[in-house]
Chain A
Amino acid sequence: MKMFIDRKARLIEVQSWGDYFLFKLESPEIAKLASPGQFLMIKVSETTSPLLRRPLSLHNVDGSRLEIFFQIAGVGTHLLSLKKPGDQLDLLGPLGHGFSLKPEFKEEEIFCVGGGRGIAPLYYLANQLAKIGVHPVIFYGGRSAADLPLKNKLESTGWEVLVSTDDGSLGFKGLVTSLVEKELKTRKPAFLFACGPDPMLEKLAEICLQKNLAAEFSLEARMGCGFGACWGCVKKIRRNGEEKYLKVCQDGPVFSRDEIIWEETKNG
């Protein structure tokens, strides 16, 4: 797997909505190698606290530019949010095993389900799907309207975008998984991709199993290194007839829905 350390990735543009941030970064080498579902390890501090880089999925790649979309979730992402256009960031990437863009996907509907900040990698994915003639249907769920800052950006692409909020402040009132369930009563997508909180993914796995719908999920995990050296980010995965701890950073972050062992993953 080819990867780069780009210590001088220039931050070109910053957009923000409350706790949510979108960065555009100039990083030609990483951009050249990246594919949807892959991620970056980003250094957030010049000092030793916080010590580790932060894993952030690629939200889009456009020419030599990378985009990341994140929510402040702790001290690391807080420090990252303070960066200003013109600053140089230290990136490691592209990392991990991304979404499968299967050759048999053609002019079909594919569901892309994002919960909160989990929408991040799906924009990049949907872009690539659209390029090969697939019709991405974006499901974008959050607690309330303020958690759906990318709604307009997604809608401007011309894709079908279905939004849900737990409090009903925007779109369907309820969990995004209920919205997916509702749509599946009348539609037959060829595949489902998702990223979001574990309970959301677990519920989707159950729904997909009932409907016999193939799916891939991008998992989130605390990571030490991001490239397979520390074995710190593992999840219990069923693969080739065996159940074992696989690395989210290297074997994932994208796993097939039937590989993930939820009883173990939820607490991990």
Chain B
Amino acid sequence: MVDLSVDLGFLRLKNPVLAASGTFGYGLEFKPFYDLELLGGFVVKGLYLKPREGNKPPRLVETPSGLINSIGLQGIGVEAFCKEILPDLAELKTAIIVNVCGEEEEEYALVAEYLSRNKGIAALELNISCPNVREGGKCPAQDPEATYRTVKKVKQATSLPLITKLSPNVTDITAVALAAVEAGSQAISLINTLLAMAVDLETRKPKLGNVMGGLSGPAIKPIALRMVFQVARAVKIPLIGMGGIFSAEDALEFMMAGASAVQVGTANFVDPNACLKIIKGLEIWAEKNKVKKISEITGSLEA
């Protein structure tokens, strides 16, 4: 029997597989497919204070082994989430992580504060890295100082554990990671999507209504892996790795590179049971390789 549990310090997960924000709705969308308690946890779609309309369609373009999206965080807002969705989620014996958004630092803090007043939330993931909500794909995670300020502000507004989600659209991701640590983030999740675009030759227009979007899927895995590796060498807090994880083998690569847990995103669209298959795959791999505790894999890369 393999021990799949992992300890993030502030949160113990029954296994290292979390469903990623923006790909798992508010969780309940996946209830028809499997028992959500089998997951290590899941990160619900990003929430602002108010409901948000999202970006103009088309919002999706498929690229080789990838998907560019420009959803723009359409959603119901924190109040409706806490009233209509959270009571159902809170009963689940799995880690419910809420992705927190904001137009400016103050809004992040207000959303976090609102969520803190509710039961059933294991941690907050600070979404300072969405490329789809500001002009030109800009986000706080592109600047260590803005990252520090946002994390600090949220830290003061909540006692819930904070996971800061980083952007790959930077020159040096370790500088941003260090800023998040200094401001009190208890974990880092990475990477968000890569700023990208696609062109329609016939219309000579961008294929996305919002011109640019975020690339996800297997196409970005090597970049994500490299960034997890770099950040693992720079910080001591737990990392949650993501970016194109479609199999248990992919997940193990991220763990070897330094991730304590992983998030599975785009794969959920292709196969609603993707997370379950990956959990099962981790168990099979560990048994075959005589690994008793999956957490031993974290950072075991010899480089």
Task: Point out residues on A near B: beta carbons under 8 Å.
Answer: 1-3, 5, 43, 48-53, 92, 221-225, 227-235, 244-245, 264, 267-268
Q: How far is the CA of A40 from the CA of B29 in the complex (A)?
A: 17
Query: Are A229 and B32 within 8 A (Cβ)?
Result: no
**Residue among A3, A51, A221, A233 with max Cβ neighbours from chain B (10 Å):** A51
List, in ascending order, chain A residues with CB within 8 A of B23's CB. Answer: 229-230
List, in ascending order, chain A residues with CB within 8 A of B246's CB. Answer: 48
List, in ascending order, chain A residues with CB within 8 A of B270's CB. Answer: 43, 51-53
List, in ascending order, chain B residues with CB within 8 A of A225's CB. Answer: 268-269, 272
Contact of A229 among B24, B54, B66 (CB under 8 A): B24
Min CB gap A205→B, angstroms: 18
Query: Are A5 and B33 within 8 A (Cβ)?
Result: yes
List, in ascending order, chain A residues with CB within 8 A of B266's CB. Answer: 51
Query: Are B54 and A234 within 8 A (Cβ)?
Result: yes
Q: Assuming A229-B30, A231-B71, A244-B53, what are 12 further A-B pairs, CB within 8 angstroms?
A: A48-B217, A48-B246, A51-B67, A51-B217, A52-B62, A229-B24, A230-B269, A231-B45, A231-B59, A233-B60, A245-B54, A268-B57
Min CB gap B203→A, angstroms: 10
Count CB-based A-B contacts (< 8 Å): 94
**Chain B 69-85 near chain A by CB (<8 Å), digits 1 or 0:** 10100100000000000
List, in ascending order, chain A residues with CB within 8 A of B58's CB. Answer: 222, 268
Query: Are B53 and A92 within 8 A (Cβ)?
Result: no
Q: How far is the CA of A268 from the CA of B57 in the complex (A)?
A: 5
Query: Are B59 and A234 within 8 A (Cβ)?
Result: yes
Question: Is B25 at the interface (CB under 8 A from chain A)?
Answer: yes
Contact of A230 among B30, B33, B60 (CB under 8 A): B60
Query: Are A224 and B67 within 8 A (Cβ)?
Result: yes
Interface of A is mostly: loop
Min CB gap B205→A, angstroms: 9
Min CB gap A44→B, angstroms: 11
Query: Are B268 and A267 within 8 A (Cβ)?
Result: no
Interface of B is mostly: loop
Contact of B64 among A49, A52, A228, A231 (CB under 8 A): A49
Min CB gap A43→B, angstroms: 7
Query: Are B29 and A222 within 8 A (Cβ)?
Result: no
Query: Are B66 and A51 within 8 A (Cβ)?
Result: yes
Task: Point out residues on B near A: beta carbons under 8 Å.
Answer: 22-25, 29-30, 32-33, 45, 53-54, 56-62, 64-67, 69, 71, 74, 209, 217-218, 246, 266, 268-273
**Residue among B24, B59, B246, B268 with max Cβ neighbours from chain A (10 Å):** B59
Query: Are A245 and B209 within 8 A (Cβ)?
Result: no
Query: Are B60 and A48 within 8 A (Cβ)?
Result: no
Closest to B74 in A: A231
Contact of B32 among A3, A50, A233, A244 (CB under 8 A): A3
Query: Are B57 and A234 within 8 A (Cβ)?
Result: yes
Given contacts A5-B33, A268-B209, whether A232 and B59 have CB atoms under 8 Å apart is: yes
Closest to A230 in B: B269
Min CB gap A35→B, angstroms: 16
Closest to B60 in A: A232
Q: How far is the CA of A264 from the CA of B56 in the complex (A)?
A: 8
Min CB gap A77→B, angstroms: 13
Min CB gap A266→B, angstroms: 11
Query: Are B218 and A51 within 8 A (Cβ)?
Result: yes
Q: How far is the CA of A232 from the CA of B268 in the complex (A)?
A: 14
Query: Are A232 and B218 within 8 A (Cβ)?
Result: no
